Amino acid sequence: MTATIALWASIFLNGLAQVLLKKGVGHSSDQGGAHAGWWFSLLKNGWVWAWGLCFVAATALWLLALSRLDISYAFPLLSTSFILVALLSRLLLGEFISWKRWFAILVICFGVVLIAAK
């Protein structure tokens, strides 16, 4: 029971972490690389810190869950984070997800489930 809660909490935090990171680093243009100042500015960015904390917590919860659950059970559920990130990016960042992109996400999820299959 606790292992299952840890697993889902890990999956949720992992997805949330990605959206927090995106919120923090914004959407810059294709051209132009990242200079030293940009990397240092990340250290002062609260969203980036929130990403780091969520990432560490998600990893710890994942290890906790894996110590109790079979990896063949836990691993396919990881693919739900692709759907979660899409939903959160839409809700929190206002990203537009075309039906083609949704379809691609579902195909990738299906592939991950197959890879995890015994």
Partner 1 sequence: MNTRVAEAVTSAEAIHVNVKTRAFHTADFSVLGAVLLAALGHLMIKAGLNGSTSAAAAHGSIIDRLGAYFSQPYVLLGLTIYGLGTAMWIFAVSKRDISYVFPITALNYVLVTLGGKFLFAEVIPPKRWLGVAVVIVGVALMQSAGRKGSR
User: In the complex, which residues of this chain contact partner 1 (CB under 8 A)?
Assistant: 18-19, 21-22, 25-31, 33-34, 39, 42, 48, 79, 81-82, 85-86, 89-90, 93-98, 100-101, 103-118
Task: Give whichever of 5 and 102 is closer to partner 1, judged by the CB atom.
Answer: 102
Burial 31-45 (b: 16+ CB within 10 A, else e): eeeeeeeeeeebeee
> Least distance to partner 1 from the beta carbon of 1, Å?
24
Q: Which is nearer to partner 1, 57 or 113 (CB)?
A: 113
Provide, rounded to whole angstroms, the least separation between the CB of residue 99 and partner 1.
9
Find all residues with CB under 8 Å of 100, minimum gap 6, and list them. none
Sign of CA dihedral 61, 63, 69, 75: positive
Backbone angles phi, psi at 94, to 5 degrees: 70, 25
What minimum distance in Å lies between the beta carbon of 69 and partner 1?
18
- Identity of the residue, 48 or 69, whose beta carbon is nearer to partner 1 in the bound complex: 48
Distance CA 10, CA 100 (A): 28
